[in-house]
Amino acid sequence: MKKCQLCLCKSELCNSHAIPDSVFRSLFKQGNGQAIELSSGELIPNRKSQDSWATDQLCSGCEVKLNITYDQYGLNLLRGKVGKVIRYEDGVHFSDIDSLKFKSFVLSIFWRGAVSEHENYKTIQVAPRFLELIRSSLVRQDNVSKNSCTVIVQRLIDTTDGGFDESHLRNFVVSPFPRKYEVRGQFYSSISMIFLGFYFEIFYNPIRFSEKVSKFALGSSSTTYIAPYIEVTEIPEVFDLMVNGLRKEHKGLSNV
């Protein structure tokens, strides 16, 4: 038997997901059991896939614990079933929520991706100490420390002519990708994820020097959060992926 990545006990392991299975099931349902997969690899064709990026990593008890403690809350919040959700010009306003629990939901997905052996999560490379901080909090079913890192959540939009509508944006799932920033002479690394129409960015260290970033740091207010809008075409990693997919389509490198 293998060791569960969460409780560290030897056990039969489940086929566990980082980005929740329900996200993929909804995606596959709308595509008659499959989804279109675009790859940044130049020779990998556009294709249809049923892969939900799962690997054996958690025992059944820990799988259920994370699903009930974090996934149910976070997914319901993103789907407008928790608290109050109002759209304003500056973004989507959430109120009457537990923002630290929401942050822990995001970090639990990040952690599961980091310990996953699936190739689509291999870009998550982070210090073991940070992963252990998250793991120990998840084991205790506690919210991850407010000051452990900075998490920003943004709502995808597309205002270009003939662009993607909200339902299409909610069906985007993008494998995590890394970024590096310099803020007032300090260097920061982050990992970004996209699913359910939201863009999630996890900074490994808390950012304290940028008023703009701090304003949108998840958990800075305990019961409210503003998810600012971000144009999907202004995310270079996503835009390049779409352009590359279109180029492959024109070259006949597509099985869709």
| pTM (two decimals) | 0.93
* Within a domain: 80: yes
pLDDT band, very low/low/confident/very high, at 144 (cuts 50, 70, 90): confident
Which contiguous run of DSSP H or E holds residue 211?
Answer: helix 211-215
pLDDT of 67 > 90? The answer is: yes
- Domain count for the chain, please give it: 1
- Of 75-79, 119-123, 184-188, 242-246, where does mean pLDDT reach its minimum? 184-188
**Domain annotation covers residue 7:** no
Provide the residue range defining the domain that includes 106. Answer: 12-35+48-237
**Using CA atoms, how far apart are residues 37 and 119, in angstroms rounded to an integer?**
14
Does any domain span residue 247?
no
Alpha carbon 208 to chain centroid, angstroms = 23
> What is the token pair recorded at 40?
């940044």
pLDDT at 146 over 80: no
The percent of residues in the chain predicted with pLDDT above 70, rounded, is 97
For the chain, give the percent of residues with pLDDT over 90: 71
- CA 191, CA 10: separation in Å to the nearest integer? 30
Average pLDDT over residues 66-77: 96
Of 89, 196, 112, 108, the C-alpha closest to 151 is 108
**Residue 146 placed within a domain:** yes
What is the Cα 214 distance to its own chain's centre?
A: 20
Domain-embedded: residue 57: yes
Residue 246 lies in a domain: no
Q: What is the pLDDT of residues 167-181, one digit of tens each?
A: 999 999 999 999 998
**Helix (H) / strand (E) containing 23:** helix 21-30
**End-to-end CA gap in the chain:** 39
CA 46 to chain centre: 22
Question: Looking at the predicted structure, is the pLDDT value of residue 211 above 60?
Answer: no
* Residue 244 in domain: no
Query: What's the whole-number mean pLDDT along residues 148-152?
Result: 91
Contact assessment for residue 147 and residue 95, using Cβ atoms and an 8 Å cutoff: no
Over residues 145-168, the mean pLDDT reads 91
Give pLDDT tens digits for 77-127.
999 999 999 999 999 999 999 999 999 999 999 999 999 999 999 999 999
Main-chain dihedrals φ then ψ at residue 57, nearest 5 degrees:
-145, -20
Mean of the per-residue pLDDT values for the chain? 92
Q: Tell me whether residue 249 is in a domain.
A: no
Euclidean distance between CA atoms 88 and 72, whole angstroms: 26
Q: Is 112 helix (H, G, I), strand (E, B) or coil?
A: helix
